[in-house]
């Protein structure tokens, strides 16, 4: 029987914040692609369709009690890993990367879906094993084992950005659950060693991105072109920006990937510092509200579920913004609800649905 209290506690604040961000993103996408010649529906129309689809999925996620998801966490993980294996065997290759499964009318990127599966799985594990003393190194072998397989499969595609996101989400949930001081030190040393050793496992283009990050001016017309043009776009916006559809970097096609990785650069050029500040405040509110929902959760599983989703939002925001202004290498991480991408949009909206679900049932024990 449907509980009417769910209607009274419907999470309007979160939903309206996300729709506002997505609306600004679609307007920005219209500007970024205004001079494109289309043989199909414009990208901003496609993004609008993906937003509508994601909204439907988010509302469907709200219909059933999120507590039942802990019994499906392992199943969702296995499905996600199975899809990643299917990508390796049957995946669609674009620009040297095999990341998509072609379903005829759409391309699906399973590495996006695995983020939600990892959040569900870790929320279940941590809700059952977390203790006030925190985790020791011997307690982490099982979570790390679960994390290792999808991370390796994503790296093989290759997709360094998504693999980093998956690891950061999982580590954020572990740190929120609590780590002993010795464990934190050992993990920091392990991360440092892994970072150094991983250099030898990177593809040539990934090494080029790191070199470009350190010195983009060394190859301004080659590997450094993207980030140089992005920083020009962000800086030329000034205080109030050049105005809607007036950004020269985007409208004159100097800025590559302006509908995906560098969507924020288009926005910064047209709306300036003031516009960027307002957008960042919206994202800050989104993350803060996600943590508020986590704190209000009625059980441990809901707490860690909300923390995981909020971490997913947070790290995508931080890495993308740092990437477009040259503080991090370009690793292909989209800005949530803003960059073009169907699977990414639906995945983020599933996260929104999970947060709404936890919030709406905080009064139910």
List, for residues 90-108, the tens digit of each pLDDT value.
Answer: 776 766 667 778 776 677 7
Q: What is the structure's pLDDT at 206?
A: 67
For the chain, which ranges sit under pLDDT 50? 1
The CA-CA-CA angle for residues 190, 195, 200, to 5°, reads 125
Peptide bond into 306 cis (omega under 30): no
Domain-located, residue 365: no
pTM of the model: 0.91
Q: What is the structure's pLDDT at 1?
A: 45
Pair of tokens at residue 243: 């105005």
Domain-located, residue 321: yes
Domain-located, residue 222: yes
Q: Regarding beta strands 107-108 and 92-94, do their DSSP bridges make them parallel or antiparallel, or are they unpaired? A: unpaired
C-alpha distances in Å from residue 231, one per residue of 190, 234, 244, 337: 33, 5, 19, 22
CA 81 – CA 232 distance, rounded (Å): 40
Q: What are the tens digits of pLDDT across the range 198-208?
A: 767 666 766 77
Domain-located, residue 273: yes
Domain-located, residue 327: yes
Q: What is the structure's pLDDT at 136?
A: 83
Identify the domain containing residue 294 by its residue range: 5-34+43-360
CA 72 – CA 117 distance, rounded (Å): 9
Decide if 64 contacts 56 (C-beta within 8 A): no
Total domains in the chain come to 1
- Torsion (CA) 62, 65, 67, 70 in degrees, nearest 10: -70
Decide if 339 contacts 259 (C-beta within 8 A): yes
Average pLDDT of the chain is 87
CA 14 – CA 296 distance, rounded (Å): 14
CA 365 – CA 359 distance, rounded (Å): 13
Domain-located, residue 59: yes
The CA-CA-CA angle for residues 350, 354, 355, to 5°, reads 120
Among 323, 325, 322, which residue's Cα sits nearest to residue 231?
325
Domain-located, residue 199: yes
CA 52 – CA 50 distance, rounded (Å): 5
Q: What is the structure's pLDDT at 133?
A: 80
Domain-located, residue 147: yes
């Amino acid at each position: 029987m449907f509980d009417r209290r769910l209607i009274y506690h419907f999470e309007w604040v979160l939903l309206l914040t996300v729709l506002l961000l997505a609306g600004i993103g679609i307007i920005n996408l219209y500007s970024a692609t205004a001079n494109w010649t289309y043989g199909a529906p414009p990208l901003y129309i496609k993004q609008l369709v993906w937003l509508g689809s994601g909204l439907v999925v988010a509302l469907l996620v709200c219909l059933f009690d999120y507590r039942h998801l802990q019994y499906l966490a392992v199943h969702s993980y296995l499905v996600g890993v199975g899809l990643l294996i299917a990508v390796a065997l049957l995946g669609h290759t674009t620009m040297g990367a095999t990341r998509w499964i072609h379903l005829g009318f759409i391309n699906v990127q399973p590495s996006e879906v695995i983020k939600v599966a990892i959040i569900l799985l870790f929320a279940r594990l941590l809700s059952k094993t977390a203790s006030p003393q925190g985790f020791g190194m011997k307690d982490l072998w099982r979570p790390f084992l679960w994390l290792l397989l999808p991370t390796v499969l994503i790296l093989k595609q290759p997709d360094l950005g998504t693999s980093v996101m998956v690891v950061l989400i999982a580590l954020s949930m572990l740190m929120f659950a609590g780590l002993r001081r010795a464990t934190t030190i050992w993990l920091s040393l392990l991360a440092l060693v892994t970072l150094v050793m991983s250099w030898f496992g990177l593809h040539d283009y990934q090494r080029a991105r790191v070199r470009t990050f350190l010195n983009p001016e060394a190859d301004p017309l080659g590997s450094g072109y993207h980030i140089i043009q992005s920083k020009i776009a962000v800086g030329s916006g000034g205080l109030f920006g050049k105005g809607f559809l007036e950004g020269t970097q985007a409208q004159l096609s100097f800025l590559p990937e302006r509908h995906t990785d560098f969507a924020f650069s288009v926005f910064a050029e047209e709306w300036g510092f003031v516009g960027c500040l307002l957008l960042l405040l919206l994202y800050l509110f989104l993350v803060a509200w996600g943590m508020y929902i986590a704190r209000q959760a009625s059980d441990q599983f809901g707490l860690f579920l909300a923390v995981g989703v909020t971490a997913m939002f947070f790290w995508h925001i931080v890495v993308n913004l740092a990437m477009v202004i040259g503080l991090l290498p370009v690793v292909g991480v989209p800005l949530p609800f803003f960059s073009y991408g169907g699977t990414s949009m639906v995945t983020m909206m599933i996260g929104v649905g999970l947060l709404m679900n936890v919030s709406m049932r905080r009064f139910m024990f």
